[in-house]
Amino acid sequence: MSMLQDLYPEDFAHCYGCGRLNTNGLHVKTDWVEGEGIARFLPAPYHMALPGFVYGGLIASLADCHAMATAAGASMVAAGATPGRDPTPRFVMASLQVDFLRPTPLGPELLLRARPTEVGERKVAVEVSLTAKGVECARARVLAVRAPATMVR
């Protein structure tokens, strides 16, 4: 099985956060595991807020791309498709809420688990939990909507 972002159609594969065709990007990758999205990400040394701690904007970016892929996975399952095998539909953020529970240490790999909480045909709500070495550092709630036709060129 593939990571969900590797199965975005080519037109949707340029995202700075997760596009395989964006050579400057972060390349967030989401694995679909038993109804959840799982992602691992190792921040670069320069992704800092203060020395020793991860930049909050990066955490928001990881939550964005990971939640969009998880929303896509949930919508695929609802439609009878198989995440990680069939093409991944592209969702975009309608809203993002991040609670920073504690400073996230810069150094260890970050683990992001994302769980779809409401799955509609066009809208999917996703909750994301970010942990570092087993300690939860941030939580996000993301509302994803299918990329509207006006965004597709």
Q: What is the contact surface with a copy of itself in residues (CB under 8 A)?
A: 11-12, 14-17, 19, 22-25, 44, 46-53, 55-58, 60-62, 64-65, 90, 92-100, 103, 147-148, 150-153
Cβ at position 25, least distance to a copy of itself in Å: 7
Burial class for 36, CB neighbours closer than 10 Å (0-12, 13-18, 19+)? middle
Output 95 or 117, the one with its CB closest to a copy of itself: 95
SS3 26: coil
Cβ at position 13, least distance to a copy of itself in Å: 10
Burial class for 72, CB neighbours closer than 10 Å (0-12, 13-18, 19+)? buried
Identity at 91, one-letter amino acid code:
F
Output 77 or 145, the one with its CB closest to a copy of itself: 145
Output 79 or 94, the one with its CB closest to a copy of itself: 94
Do 128 and 93 form a contact (C-beta atoms < 8 A)?
no
Output 54 or 76, the one with its CB closest to a copy of itself: 54
- The tokens of 43 are what? 């921040």
